[in-house]
């Protein structure tokens, strides 16, 4: 999404409670608007290309509201990305037991992971963050030290199948990492440069990744 001049990305008008102060619900909505706008402007212009003034103007959120919560742009950007990660976690949360067949279950999980990792906004963020990581090493180190949110739902599914005796798990976190690499690695690399593969090719790669994974983790 692009911005022109003073055109806001979000509505400028916010509801206020008694005394002219925003209600708690309105303050949270305003905060979310701020974080979403920050993230989108970063995708558009890179970190050095966006100022607090522009974020304020584009979101319709006053600078006073911003500085009351964030001492600098780095903290604001970090919170915007962490909120995005929390949202991703919500879309991948496991609801109910996985399919009885372990291969079917991992294929279904793999498809969900690909839809998240290969979404246009996710790819745009990955390109931008990698391009700026050398100059923003303090932020890169912070995010590198965090556990990848995609590993949580993967670990939950793997643990469910291990509890049934379908696979063997010695290190849940490590195994979840390997699954993510097998499923996402090549498709994301290809999508970054040439766009997503056709669905049939994507499914072929996913099926091969799941079979290789099951072979390596002691499928019973």
Range of the domain at 42: 18-72
In a domain, 68, yes or no: yes
Per-residue model confidence as pLDDT tens digits over 167-186: 999 899 999 999 999 999 99
The chain-wide mean pLDDT, for the chain, equals: 83
Instruction: Quote the pLDDT of residue 8.
Output: 45
Alpha carbons 155 and 143: distance in angstroms, whole number? 20
Residue 51: CATH number of its domain: 1.10.10.60
Per-residue model confidence as pLDDT tens digits over 126-146: 888 787 777 667 767 766 666
Instruction: Quote the pLDDT of residue 74.
Output: 82
User: Residue 37, class by beta-carbon neighbours within 10 Å (0-12 exposed, 13-18 middle, 19+ buried)?
Assistant: buried
Mean pLDDT of 6-29: 59
26 is written with which tokens? 């309105």
Task: Give the pTM.
Answer: 0.75
pLDDT classification of 11: cutoffs 50, 70, 90: very low
How large a percentage of the chain has pLDDT more than 70? Answer: 80
Residue 34 and residue 24 in contact, taking contact as beta carbons nearer than 8 Å:
no
Number of domains in the chain: 2
Same domain, 63 and 107: no
Same domain, 111 and 154: yes
**Total H helices, total E strands in the chain:** 10, 0
């Amino acid at each position: 999404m692009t911005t022109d001049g003073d055109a806001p990305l979000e509505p400028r008008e916010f509801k206020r409670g008694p005394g002219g102060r925003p209600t708690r619900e309105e303050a949270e909505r305003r905060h979310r608007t701020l974080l979403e706008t920050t993230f989108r402007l970063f995708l558009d212009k890179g970190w050095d290309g966006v100022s607090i003034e522009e974020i304020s103007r584009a979101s319709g959120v006053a600078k006073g509201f911003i500085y009351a919560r964030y001492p600098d742009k780095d903290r604001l950007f970090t919170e915007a990305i962490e909120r995005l990660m929390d949202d991703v976690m919500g879309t991948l949360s496991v609801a109910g037991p996985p399919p009885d067949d372990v291969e079917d279950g991992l294929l279904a999980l793999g498809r969900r992971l690909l839809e998240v990792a290969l979404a246009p906004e996710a790819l745009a963020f990955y390109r931008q963050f990698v391009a700026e990581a050398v100059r923003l090493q303090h932020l890169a180190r912070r995010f590198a030290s965090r556990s990848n949110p995609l590993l949580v739902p993967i670990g939950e599914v793997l643990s469910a199948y291990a509890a049934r005796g379908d696979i063997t798990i010695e290190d849940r976190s490590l195994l979840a990492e390997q699954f993510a690499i097998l499923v996402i690695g090549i498709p994301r690399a290809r999508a970054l440069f040439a766009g997503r593969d056709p669905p049939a090719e994507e499914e072929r790669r996913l099926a091969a990744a799941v079979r290789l994974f099951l072979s390596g983790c002691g499928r019973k």
